[in-house]
A = this chain, B = another copy of it.
């Protein structure tokens, strides 16, 4: 579904390009997210694998985000993903500048502006407080701070490095008060989520904590207890 904002507090699930989130398994995972969101009355957004975006966005009733877009207008750009194609696919927005897919600053500026004009939401990932402040000057919908050394570590940023969360919230909102601030890296359970919310975050961004879980639904149900 397209939308001009997402409800908070929110759990944003980036399924990356894991084997556990491809094809049928990716589709079912999206359905689990929708089911948990509906039944528990909580906000969950999902970022499907790129080639599944249109298929999943048209099948579930929760916000879907692309994992990445290129800083290009529609045209002769073979194999690149435009914001326009993401919107047509039925997505609500896109992740931007994930630590595994960093972008040039002029391209982040292009994407944030154009997304805004297209009513698409941008969640721009950052690696520290200084970069978060810098990105805030570009006025994206949301900033998700993720210390690279904690990503996929199982050690939650909200517990291991609480200051980066509270400081990012404070400094980003000082620059751009409307910004939705998320944190990520190592988030795996409801306690980690609650810690993030208590530090002032509007939600969390996570991946392996759910995708790689033996029981993805159980992992998600545990996470939402922290909202």
Contact = CB atoms under 8 A, between A and B. Distances in A.
Contacts of A126: 105-106
Contact of A88 (B22, B98, B131): B22
Interface stretch (A74-82, A154-162, A190-198): A74-82
B23 A54 contact: yes
Nearest to A51: B53
Contacts of A19: 74, 84
A126 B152 CA distance: 32
B105 A16 contact: no
B77 A100 contact: yes
How many copies, total?
A: 4
Contacts of A167: none
Given A17-B82, A54-B55, A106 B102 contact: yes
A22 B74 contact: yes
Interface in A138-180: 138-139, 151-152, 175
A175 B137 CA distance: 10
Interface in A23-72: 23-24, 26, 47, 49-55, 58, 66-68, 72
B84 A101 contact: no
A22 B102 CA distance: 25
B68 A18 contact: no
Contacts of A22: 74, 82, 84-85, 88
A201 interface: no
A98 B79 CA distance: 8
Contact of A49 (B52, B76, B85, B95): B85
B17 A77 contact: yes
Contacts of A50: 50-51, 79-81, 85
Interface in A96-142: 97-109, 126-128, 130-131, 133-139
A16 B75 contact: yes
A101 B104 CA distance: 10
Q: Which residue, A24, A97, A103, A105, has most C-beta atoms of chain B within 10 A?
A: A105
Contacts of A54: 23, 51-52, 54-55
The 7 A-B pairs of least Cβ separation, nearest first, read A68-B79, A23-B88, A67-B79, A51-B53, A78-B98, A102-B104, A19-B74
